[in-house]
């Protein structure tokens, strides 16, 4: 489900980022675009994915197309307008292969503008450069006239970026008829040189030692239930169950090669609210597609009606991710219990929330031999909330008047993967979408830069909270190479 969800996000955002909107007094278009992209990625993602899981693939495709059409007309609906042909087509780009600078501070950024009308169009371009936390660095206006049916490129004025970090570059184009067009990109400079700091509480280590000891005392009661499968499948399929923290039952899908033997294993962990399903990928790899609490068919536990990431947020003892992290450790226990698993070749892989699960599990459990973290979440909460904002925060504060930012961030610090990154001992590969408004790249690097084991990363220049389709095959090949499977 995670890959399909990412493809949906890709299609949505490809149809939305460069939009034409008429302006209202005081309306900040670039912030609106940024917020709406995040909203599509998170809220639409959350509310629709469970419904999509219940329909077959053809219905999924039809619904995806309908959703794309819906998103394409949202700007006009929001502003009380009907759709009309765009006078201009605007797209931003930069002359760098991945949008990342190394030992440089100036990047050539430009907008490609096409005049689709039969008239010359006069326009003002307002260029802005801001830090990833929206601190303004530069603003400058430029004037441009474009003849009918002509393409022109307008370049951002020269500006030397301050140093390692990520930066928003935006262009607001206002025509003489008060049509507004906006384009923006994020660029990065020397991400591995971004200062990395931790904010763990004094009892951080003892908290996790106590949590892991408590999990060890719970009888896992592993169940492996054979499932019918097409004879042409590469693997045998089993439904698995296990007891985890708070006595909840976790479930998932185990795929085992048909030929007897000992094989490397991959633990797949889910994105937010998604449901990991079997993949039948290889005949020489054991795959456990695992769903921690409140995912897939696994138990929910208390307060299931509350959004997971704010569930129990007033206490590290009760917080949702304490149980969810321990669920992932229990899944490793399951793999360790199997004689057909090569205990020296166990990998974990997840994206978004799953990327955070991958980091956390590799940090808390040295039995993990390989970690794949895509567009990871649950990294550097302080900076995360300086870059983006979720409406649930206000709702949660309103429901918990005794809580504030400081107390909330104290709780989150126990689950911030940057505070456990130095415990990771296995090789790590991370991917980021440079334009990701959901898991901003700087937060991912806050964890990455504190990892001491062998590590590498991939940057997708134009991707938001998704990866291109080629990414998944590339990562499987990387895993196979690391485990000497070919």
Tokens of 128: 């802005």
- CA distances for 173 relative to 157, 176, 262, 450, angstroms: 15, 10, 61, 40
Per-residue exposure over 176-194, b if at least 16 CB sit within 10 Å of its own CB, e if not: eeebbbbbbbbbbbebeeb
Q: Which member of 211, 244, 352, 444 is catalytic?
A: 352
Q: Which member of 168, 436, 442, 463 is catalytic?
A: 436
Tokens of 36: 């709406």
Tokens of 234: 């590469």
* Distance separating alpha carbons of residues 355 and 297, to the nearest angstrom: 21
Q: Where are the beta strands (DSSP E) in 199-340?
A: 223-227, 235-243, 249-257, 263-269, 286-291
Residue 436 is among the residues annotated as catalytic for this protein: yes
C-alpha angle with apex 185: 476 to 182, nearest 5 degrees?
Answer: 135
Q: Which member of 45, 168, 295, 465 is catalytic?
A: 465
Tokens of 168: 């928003």
Cβ count near 30 (within 10 Å): 18
Residue 352 is among the residues annotated as catalytic for this protein: yes
Residue 462 is among the residues annotated as catalytic for this protein: no
* Helices 320-336 and 204-216, packing angle to 10 deg: 50
Tokens of 376: 């990871």
Within 13 Å of residue 357, how many CA atoms lie on the same side as its CB?
31
Strand 235-243 and strand 249-257: the pairing is antiparallel
**Active-site annotation, residues:** 352, 436, 465
């Amino acid at each position: 489900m995670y890959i399909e969800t990412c493809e949906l996000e890709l299609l949505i955002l490809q149809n939305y980022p460069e939009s034409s909107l008429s302006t209202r007094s005081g309306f900040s278009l670039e912030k609106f675009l940024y917020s709406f992209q995040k909203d599509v990625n998170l809220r639409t993602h959350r509310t629709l994915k469970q419904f999509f899981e219940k329909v077959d693939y053809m219905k999924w495709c039809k619904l995806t197309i309908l959703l794309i059409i819906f998103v394409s007309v949202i700007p006009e609906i929001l502003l009380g307008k009907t759709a009309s042909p765009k006078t201009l087509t605007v797209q931003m780009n930069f002359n760098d292969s991945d949008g990342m600078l190394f030992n440089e501070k100036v990047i050539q950024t430009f907008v490609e503008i096409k005049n689709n009308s039969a008239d010359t169009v006069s326009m003002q371009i307002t260029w802005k450069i801001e830090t990833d936390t929206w601190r303004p660095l530069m603003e400058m206006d430029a004037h441009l006239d474009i003849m009918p049916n002509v393409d022109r490129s307008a370049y951002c004025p020269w500006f030397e970026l301050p140093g390692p970090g990520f930066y928003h570059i935006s262009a607001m184009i206002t025509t003489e008829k008060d049509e507004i067009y906006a384009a923006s990109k994020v660029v990065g400079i020397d991400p591995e040189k971004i200062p990395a700091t931790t904010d763990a509480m004094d009892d951080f280590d003892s908290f996790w030692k106590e949590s892991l000891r408590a999990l060890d005392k719970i009888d896992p009661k592993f169940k492996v239930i054979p499932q019918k499968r097409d004879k042409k499948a590469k693997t045998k399929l089993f439904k698995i169950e296990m007891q985890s923290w708070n006595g909840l039952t976790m479930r998932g899908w185990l795929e085992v090669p048909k030929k007897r033997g000992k094989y490397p294993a991959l633990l797949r962990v889910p994105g937010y609210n998604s449901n990991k399903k079997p993949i039948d990928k290889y005949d020489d790899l054991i795959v456990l597609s695992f769903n921690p609490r409140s995912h897939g068919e696994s138990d929910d536990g208390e307060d299931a009606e509350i959004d997971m990431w704010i569930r129990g947020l007033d206490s590290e003892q009760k917080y949702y991710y304490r149980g969810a992290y321990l669920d992932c450790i229990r899944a490793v226990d399951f793999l360790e219990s199997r004689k057909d698993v090569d205990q020296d070749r166990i990998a974990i892989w997840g994206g978004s929330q799953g990327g955070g699960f991958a980091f956390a599990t590799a940090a808390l459990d040295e039995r993990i031999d390989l970690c794949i973290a895509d567009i990871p979440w649950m990294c550097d909460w302080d900076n995360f909330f300086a870059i983006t904002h979720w409406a649930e925060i206000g709702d949660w504060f309103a429901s918990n008047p005794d809580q504030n930012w400081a107390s909330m961030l104290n709780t989150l610090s126990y689950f911030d993967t940057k505070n456990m990154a130095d415990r990771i001992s296995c090789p790590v590969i991370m991917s980021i979408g440079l334009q990701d408004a959901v898991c901003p790249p700087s937060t991912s690097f806050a964890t990455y830069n504190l990892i001491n084991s062998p590590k590498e990363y991939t940057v997708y220049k134009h991707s938001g909270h998704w990866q291109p389709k080629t990414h998944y095959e590339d990562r499987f090949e990387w895993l196979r190479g690391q485990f000497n499977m070919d």
